[in-house]
Amino acid sequence: MQKKHILFLAAATLLGAVAVNAANDEPIQPIKPPTGVNPDMAELGKKLYFDPRLSKSGFISCNSCHNLSMGGTDNIPTSIGDKWQEGPINAPTVLNSSLNLAQFWDGRAADLRTQAGGPIANPVEMGSSHTLAVGLLETIPGYVREFKKVFNKSKIDIDQVTMAIAEFEKTLVTPNSRFDQWLLGNAKALSKEELAGYQLFKNSGCVACHNGEAAGGNSFQKMGLMEPYQTANLAEGRAAVTGEDAERFNFKVPTLRNVELTYPYFHDGAANTLSEAVDIMGRLQLGKKFTREENASIVAFLKTLTGDQPDFKLPILPPSTDRTPRPTPFK
* Backbone torsion region of residue 127, taken as left when φ is above 0, otherwise alpha when ψ lies between -120 and 50, otherwise beta: left
Can you list the alpha helix ranges (DSSP code H) found in 152-217?
A: 158-170, 178-183, 192-203
**C-alpha dihedral over 325, 54, 263, 279, to 10 degrees?**
120
> Residue 325: how many CB atoms within 10 A of its CB?
12
Cα separations in angstroms, 247 against 233, 241, 251:
16, 9, 9
Question: What are the residue numbers of the active site?
Answer: 125
Report the b/e string of 78-99 with b at 16+ CB within 10 A: bbbbbeeeebebbbbbbbbbbb
DSSP state of 163: H
Cis before 264 (ω within 30):
yes
